[in-house]
Structure formats: C-alpha cells, structure tokens
Structure 1
Amino acid sequence: MKRIYVYLHLICFLGLGCSVNKSGSDKNNATTGGEQQVSASAPTVSYSNPVLAGDYADPSVIRVGDDYWATATSSEWAPLYPLLHSKNLVDWETVGHVFPDKLPAWADAHFWAPEITYDKGKYYIYYTAKKKGGNLCVGVASASQATGPYTDHGPLVCQEVGSIDAFPIRDEKGELYLVWKEDANSVRKPTPLWGQRMNEERTALLGEKFELFRNDPNTWEGGLVEGPAIEKRGDYYYLFYAGDACCGRACTYGVGVARSKSIRGPWEKNPANPIMQKNAEWQCPGHGSVVKDKDNRYYFLYHAYNVNSFVYPGRQGLLDEIKWGEDNWPRFENRSPSITAKAPHNQNRPEELNVREEFDKNVLANTWQWSVTEAPKYTLQKDNGGRLLLQSSPNKIGSILGQRTKMASYTATAIVDQRSVSKDAQAGLTAIGDPDNALGVALRNGEIILWSVKGNKTNIIDRAPAPQGTAIQFRLTTQKGDQMQFAWSTNGQNWNSLNKGQAVDGSYLPPWDRGVRVGLTAKGPVGGSVAFDRFELMHQ
C-alpha cells in the first residue's frame, strides 16, 4: 500500500501555502517502465508501510552494490523462502525461491526465519526448519548468484528444545561466528542467544558455544528474546532483537537492542528498550534485519500486523530508518512503525496489489504457493486465451495453488470448465488457512457446493444444481478478513448467491503464524485434471 506524496518545500518556504499531491495511479493499478529518475531539484518522495504487503514474516535484507536482496519466512507454504529484489528498498519483486521445487532433504516442516548474507563472492541463506523425526534446527544453503541455484549444506545446530533464528557475523579479527536462539520457550524456559565459531565452508561449528544474553521475564521481553540481527558501527556491535509473543491474536512483540565491543560480550541492553512498540496502525513489530545504503543510512526491514486487517493477511514487511543518538544508541521515530516516511532513494512506484492470471504464459508467476506437504502437478496451455490444468489429489482439500491476501477486504473470482470436472471430483475457489482449515465454493457431481473444512472435518453449508454449459464462474467476497460471501455465475454479470447471501465466518482460518491464502483447489482421484480459465484477486 505504498503511496507517493510530493512535498513542495520551496512553496512552503516562500509562504505561498503548502499542498500535498498524491501522484501516480491508484495503488491497485499496474505500472510499467523503469526506475524513476530523480534530479537534485526533485521533490521529496515518500512511501507508506508496508513495503511487502501480505505474509512476509521475519524478513531479512542485504545490499550488494546497487541491488537489495531480501527473503522471508515460508512456514508451511512452498516454494520455500522467496527471493525478492529491489533497487530502492521500497519497490520489491519476487524473482525466485531458495528451494523452488523441493524441500531440503533433511527437513519436513516449519520453514522459518531465513537470513540472507553475502560474503566473499557467495550468497548464504541461514534458515530454520524441523528435522525429520526431530526438532527445529538451523540449516544453511549457498549460491554464487542471489537468485540461485542454491546448494543445501544441511543442518548446523540442533539442540534438544530446538535451535532457530540464526545470524552470521565476523568479529574484529575476521573470524566467522554463528549466533542463534535456543528455542527454550517451547518448554517454558528462558531463551538464551548463543554464539559459536563456524568454519568458512559453513558446514560445522567450532569450539564451544557461549551465551550472549537471554530474556528477562520481569521486563517487556517476557517469555523470550529472538530474531537477532547484528550490525557493526564504530566501536560497537549492535544486536537488534525481538521480545515476547510473536504471533497471532495475543501477540505482544516489540524491538530491543543491545551492544558490545566484542561478539563474546559483555552485552549491554539499551535502558530505553523497547525501542519500537505498537501504534494505532501497526502492532507487534519485530524480527527484522539491518541494511546500510551507499550514503551510510541504516534501515530496518521487519514485520508487523496491521491493526485493521490483523492476522488475516499475516505479518507484513515494513521499513523504517534507524536514527542514532548522541549516546550512540539507535532509535526509531516515535518508537513505533512509521505510517509514511521519506523514500530512501527518493523513488516509489505505485504498487500492484492485485492478481490477474489468464494462464497464458509459459510459467506461473512466482507469487503462487502450495502446501509443503504436497506439490501440485499442473500444465499450462497458453494458446486460445490460456488455461491451467490442475491435477486432482485425493488428500485433504486436494491440490492447492494459492495467493497471499494483502488486505482484509477483497474479491476473488475463478472460472472452471465444467467439462473437465469428472465424477466424484471437486474443483473451485477456496480461502485457505492450511489443508485442515479451508472454506470454498466448488463444482462436484453436477452440483455447486459451499463447503468448509475445520480441523480436517468437512461440512456442506449450501448446495445448488449446476447449470448447463461449459464455463462456470465462482466468486468470493471478503470483508473484515473473516466475513466471506460466495456466489456463482455463468456470464460474470448475473450472480447467484449461496447461503442466502449471508456471510460465512472464516475467523478460524488463519493458523497461529500465517495469513490466509485464496486460490484454486482440485480434489479427486489421482490422474484427473481440472481446467481453470482465469483467476483474479482484487483488494479493496
């Protein structure tokens, strides 16, 4: 939801009155062309948070030359760990994934908190995942290009209660260390941040681990500290971290910082902590990383929940400049997330929030997602206007192709070719929390059904006879994140409401750590396929 504000400083200075002009097209209209050209006399351009709309928790960012690269948590959605590119920290594009077509061989769930770094000509991704048959571990993958392909090197550290949120750092002698969190809050114990030497190949830790610090339960930190991000400035290493409950409706997250002249400590926590807390627009800010631009300005890319849409889009990516006081402690303006701020590179293109997919390209857009438990099989037929053949699955809610929702209110539509839906198959438009919790409208055995799955239990809410014809259109209209109305049409103009036009409550959909996706599902015997002609997701 970036918006461009132009401030006419010269007019204000001359006392001729001030005006604010929102330039560019509406936030939901696509733009074309390259970066904006900025001259010395150009007016100041600002942006509005989020810079990463939708579910982009635990973001990490680096700068290599003129390019910024970022990634974020995937959780239980594949492909794993989006790779995002920007020239200005505000306009981001998904250009690939760390693991685009399969999971790491050693892991099976909870793909959290990737940290992207660049060192001596190589890119590294330190990530959290659950080891098969075990607990949470920190793994690492590397590539010679930011976009990959990445080679996985397996897990580096796996403690009994779990190891998460890794961050690499070199000390004043150039020796390489790994810092991570022991996930002891999972067993109601304190959460130390540990450090340990690491070999240059990033395949093993060396020597003995040492503690940097841990949470103080009698302060704002509550039950945990996590998400360390370390930046060297002057004589000090500054460790930015998050404290207390990260996620869901009961979240209490905030941002703190500690400093030390040595990686091994002693570490001094800022007496002014937390240096960032909630405000009227954003709540539970935290778990980010620091990046420095060419002008030596420092920025923090992190996540927070929007107060109005809250858990439904998930934890969204925000950007704020870090200021430095005379006491050499970092701070944020108003100790809270910014609503609008000056664009770092004085650039900001209007953002495209919506999805319009005709399936007329050779590949699907990088923004499509599916469950880590089952990768869908599909074929794109780009001729004759394009269509998607999605193979059916008998498991859970079937094969899934979903898109992140980015606001609390949106309308999604999809067109299904009735002739492609075989007996006992079910295909349609679905709002998805996970494969055990979903809500949708579908065609099945000559009927249109409005269905829900809650805790893996299926319920048919309403049904209607399917009309004769080839194509049928489904529509989902969502308000406030959880009020979902469903309808169908044969022409896209005259709509027939289901459930007597009453909204269905979708408040149960979001898992504790994820937002809602909306997309296409196909359930049925193995070997069958369903044809989709179009998908749209329009945010309001």
Structure 2
Amino acid sequence: MPGDFPDPSVTKIGDTYWATATSSNWGPAFPLLKSKNLTDWELVGHVFPNQLPAWADYYFWAPEISQEGSKTYIYYTAHQRGGTLAVGVASADNPAGPYRDHGPLVSQPAGSIDGFPMRDENNQLYLIWKEDGNSRNEPTPIWAQRLNEERTALVGEKVELFRNSAPWEGNLVEGVSMVLHDGYYYAFYAANGCCGPGCTYATGVARARKLTGPWEKYDRNPVLLNNNTWKCPGHGTVVERNNRWYLLHHAYDAQSQQYVGRQGVLSEFKWTAAGWPEFQGNSTPVAATLPAPRPVNEEFQGSTLAPDWQWPVEQKPTFSLRSGQLQLTGRPEPSGAVLGHHTYAATYTATTTLLQPGQIPAGSVAGIAALGDPQNEIALTAGGGQLQLWQLEKGQTKVLSAAPLPAATRLTLRLRAQAGTAYQFDWSSDGGKTWQLLPNSAAVNGAYLPPWDRGVRAGVVVRGPATAAFEDFRLVVGEK
C-alpha cells in the first residue's frame, strides 16, 4: 500500500480482501481499501467520510476490520473529547459503508488503544486492547474482557494477557492481532518505538491454549526486524490466502522514511515444526523491483472529490467541484484551508493550475503546498497582486520571497521535493513551457514538516476569505 497507511488491518469478505489503516489527524477518518490478491489495492472510501463520531476529536488510530455474519465491524482508537484515548466500534451492512458508530467501549486513565475482537474457546466474544501506560512512563498491559454480542459494552472483569517485559520490547507492547491455529491462540504484537527517524519498532509473537492465558512469548522474538529496504516493521493483521500465511503490517521505506510515512507491506511466514511463525531472514521480503506508484492526474471532473484527498481532521475545508474546477474556500488560520494528497517517495514533483490568480484579493492567497500539519507548511501562493513563497513552522509564518504577479488567466505552480528535505517552488504562465523562480528563492529545508506519526502531503491551499479555483493537480515520483 504505497503512501502513509500505518497500522493496516485486513479481512476477507466473500472473494474480496478489505483493509483499513490509521488516518491519525488527517480526515476523512480511516481509509477503506479493497483487493482481490492482497497486493493490488484500490482506495474506495472511508469509514467516517463526512462526519466524525460525536465523542471523538482527533488521533484516529489503529482500526481493525472484521466480518461476522452479515455485518462488518471496525474497532478503532480515537481521543475522547475532554478525556483520554479510547477504543470505539462502528458497524455496517456492507464493508464499503455507510458505518454506524456505537461509541466508546473502554477508556482508562492512561488511555486505551488498539482494540481487536476475538472469540475464545467457548465462543465468547472478547475485546483485546492495550493500556497506553507508556504515555505515563508506566508498563503497557494487554487486556482482554468480554464484549456483549451487540458490541455496545464490555461485561465481566478484564484479564491481563501479558505486558512489556523483554529488553527488546522497550517501553511498550501494542497492536495485538490474534489468530487461532492448530489449537493455539497466537498474538502477533509490536514493541518499542514506532515512529520517526529513530524508530526501533519490531514484531513479536506469543501463544496460549486459552484466550485468557497463560501466555508464552516466543524465545526467538522478535520475529520481524529491519532490513536495508524496510525499517521498523510492525502493527499488522494476519491473513491466510491459498494456504499461505502473511502479516499485513506497516514499515518505513528506508529511502523515504518519515517523509512518506509508514506504508502497508505484506510479509509471508511459515509455521515451524514447533508451531511458531517464522519469517524468512526475520525480515520483510524485498522484491527485486517495487512497482512504481501510478502518477496522480486529477482533472477535477465529476461532482465528488476522489477519496485520495485529505484535510486536517479538525479543520475540514469548504470545497466543491464545478465544471472541471476544484473551488476551495479559504480559512483564516495561518495554514489556511488545505487539501492534501499522499506522496509515495521522498523525491517527487507536484503541479497545479490556479485559475484567475489576478482576481484573488488582498488578504487572501491560494497555491500549492507541502503539508505537514496545521502548524507546519511550505507554500507558493498568489494573491493581492503578488506571488509569495512562505513557510509556516511551529505556527509562525515567514515570507521567504515575493514578486509581482504576472498578468495571466492561468498560473501553473510547481513543487519539487528532493529526498524529503529540500523543497523547490517555481511557476509558469505559459502552461509549463518555461519556468521561473522567485527572486532569491533557494530550496527550502522542510526537514521539520512531518509530524511524529504521519508523512508529508502535497496539495493545494487557500488562506483568507476568498474562494480560489484549481483546474488540475498532478504528482509524479521523481524529478520533472
């Protein structure tokens, strides 16, 4: 799954595999992807495409998709308004939605995350989750507790399965995915530091004859480690296809690391004679050549925006598609109203065509941007008779260069990212035949852009009260 798809979860429904992943503070919440073969994925929608659950405000993490009977369930983590992280659940009659939210199930003082449903040896439904003790420099127990069949409340008493106790696990264990195989419950779990350039994530496994234990950790943990291509593999779901076993998990591509984010990766394992999973070389397999992501070529046709587009979860913009144009209304915040698109590599080129830039009044600007979060952004914009290159860092805006706006009904703006850290912007008034830089506009150092748990997006921005029109958006991996 090229792009930023952390904590992927997958299940088979009919003849189709359905998956979802963490969206964190990007909306819409929780992507929905489908595939016939586990390797070619299509993004078809979101669990919460328009309106977030009323009880939650941000950090939409670790959704687990499962099918039981005629219903699809999504167990997910989100931050509870005025509280801590909680595990909630939503359901639908079709995996594509629409989903009905049933509210939070558990929220402990330190936070509760990474919910996973599992039936025990007596067919009783349980919720497995992690107590987020590492947020308080405390241990991270993995708990199990009975869940009613309506999926609306926990019942009985919770039972601890295991916690971080081995040196390699560092300050946490999390992201448990369970599977029943040859009379054992197997818990695949992640441990240590998940994210960023200094990540130490790896994958372990434990097993038990009964769901509530006692649990035994594998003495050869971790079972999935770094290699030269994929870094910090962890937090995934076990899936079987054609009598072969896989873990769909996330990992950083070593060539792009935090700038693209944690991508969905499929790693095959076999069961040993002793009944433990074994990944070849204890690492994610490395293909001879990875397929190049398809170029983004958005013409804004139709009446709805493609599901690839995202926005800050707490700052949903106002936009519409009309006559082959994206019309985006600005916001007053320093970051403006933004629509961002996944990037697929640390080096890429993105362009957009801004219509009627001379009609954007003073006090408003519109253009192309590299987007970290609402506090961190780099953009080339037009407005008030000027072109401006500016950056937003930790909420503070700095104009780096400016020039008079050329007289043109269309202005093509280009963003070129190099190795995830250097961002060069230029513009064209003749449809891309010739390009011009602003005065003294060297490449901008954007190493600060990615948040700790997300990759950088490329997209469009409008700041101020105006509505601006964009004719297209294109993104290709590599330099152009």
TM more than 0.5: yes
The yes-or-no answer on 1:236 pairing with 2:187 is no
Q: Tell me the percent identity.
A: 51
> Partner of 1:110: helix, strand, or coil?
strand
Q: TM-score, normalised by structure 2?
A: 0.97
Counterpart residue number, 2:321: 380
Question: Residue deviations 1:51-90, cap 9 Å, x none?
Answer: x011000000001221100000000000000000000000
Q: CA deviation at 1:423?
A: 2.5
Q: CA deviation at 1:499?
A: 5.4
Q: CA deviation at 1:419?
A: 4.2
> Partner of 1:363: helix, strand, or coil?
coil
Output the CA distance in 2 between the equivalents of 1:63 and 1:335: 26
Alignment-mate amino acid for residue 360 of structure 1 = Q
> Partner of 1:496: helix, strand, or coil?
coil
Counterpart residue number, 2:454: 514
Picking from 28, 51, 63, the partner of 1:79 is 28
Counterpart residue number, 2:354: 416
Are the counterparts in 2 of residues 420 and 529 from structure 1 also a CA contact under 8 Å? Answer: no
The yes-or-no answer on 1:315 pairing with 2:255 is no
Counterpart residue number, 2:388: 449
Picking from 450, 472, 475, the partner of 1:534 is 472
Q: TM-score, normalised by structure 1?
A: 0.87
> Aligned Cα RMSD in Å?
1.3
Counterpart residue number, 1:329: 276
Output the CA distance in 2 between the equivalents of 1:420 and 1:253: 50
> Partner of 2:281: helix, strand, or coil?
helix
Picking from 121, 139, 153, the partner of 2:88 is 139
Counterpart residue number, 2:309: 368
> Partner of 2:274: helix, strand, or coil?
coil
The yes-or-no answer on 1:269 pairing with 2:208 is no
Output the CA distance in 1 between the equivalents of 2:388 and 2:303: 32
Are the counterparts in 2 of residues 412 and 475 from structure 1 also a CA contact under 8 Å? Answer: yes
Output the CA distance in 1 between the equivalents of 2:13 and 2:415: 42
Relative distance call for 1:407 and 1:232 in structure 2 (3 A) is same
Alignment-mate amino acid for residue 475 of structure 2 = L
> Partner of 1:220: helix, strand, or coil?
helix
Question: Residue deviations 1:361-381, cap 9 Å, x none?
Answer: 221111000011121111212
Counterpart residue number, 1:395: 333
> Partner of 1:186: helix, strand, or coil?
helix
**Ranges in structure 2 where 5+ consecutive residues have no aligned partner:** none
Relative distance call for 1:419 and 1:467 in structure 2 (3 A) is closer
Question: Residue deviations 1:284-341, cap 9 Å, x none?
Answer: 1000001112x23211100011111111000010001121111110011110111128
Q: How many residue pairs are counted as aligned between the two chains?
A: 476
Output the CA distance in 1 between the equivalents of 2:23 and 2:441: 35
Picking from 346, 364, 371, the partner of 1:425 is 364
Output the CA distance in 2 between the equivalents of 1:134 and 1:246: 23
Counterpart residue number, 2:153: 204
Between Structure 1 and Structure 2, which shows a larger proportion of strand residues?
A: 2
Counterpart residue number, 2:415: 476
Are the counterparts in 2 of residues 59 and 302 from structure 1 also a CA contact under 8 Å? Answer: yes
1:115-264 aligned at under 5 Å gives the runs 115-216=64-165, 218-264=166-212
The yes-or-no answer on 1:497 pairing with 2:446 is no
Are the counterparts in 2 of residues 91 and 351 from structure 1 also a CA contact under 8 Å? Answer: no
> Partner of 2:257: helix, strand, or coil?
coil
Question: Residue deviations 1:137-196, cap 9 Å, x none?
Answer: 000000010000000000000000000001000011111000000000000011000000
Output the CA distance in 1 between the equivalents of 2:314 and 2:8: 23
Output the CA distance in 1 between the equivalents of 2:7 and 2:330: 33
Relative distance call for 1:208 and 1:447 in structure 2 (3 A) is same
Q: Which runs of 4+ in 1 moved over 6 A?
A: none
Question: Residue deviations 1:461-483, cap 9 Å, x none?
Answer: 01111111211111111110111
Counterpart residue number, 2:246: 299
The yes-or-no answer on 1:62 pairing with 2:11 is yes
Picking from 47, 54, 62, the partner of 1:105 is 54
Relative distance call for 1:238 and 1:251 in structure 2 (3 A) is same
1:9-48 aligned at under 5 Å gives the runs none
Output the CA distance in 2 between the equivalents of 1:331 and 1:400: 44
Are the counterparts in 2 of residues 416 and 428 from structure 1 also a CA contact under 8 Å? Answer: yes
Output the CA distance in 1 between the equivalents of 2:363 and 2:154: 53
Alignment-mate amino acid for residue 494 of structure 1 = T
1:281-296 aligned at under 5 Å gives the runs 281-293=229-241, 295-296=242-243
Are the counterparts in 1 of residues 130 and 174 from structure 2 also a CA contact under 8 Å? Answer: yes
Counterpart residue number, 1:88: 37
Q: CA deviation at 1:352?
A: 4.1
Higher relative contact order (CA 8 A, sep 6+): 1
Picking from 212, 224, 228, the partner of 1:280 is 228
Question: Residue deviations 1:73-125, cap 9 Å, x none?
Answer: 00000000000000000000011100000111000011000000001211000
Output the CA distance in 1 between the equivalents of 2:220 and 2:20: 29
Output the CA distance in 2 between the equivalents of 1:425 and 1:258: 56
> Partner of 1:312: helix, strand, or coil?
helix
Output the CA distance in 2 between the equivalents of 1:499 and 1:246: 41
Q: CA deviation at 1:420?
A: 4.2
Relative distance call for 1:139 and 1:90 in structure 2 (3 A) is same
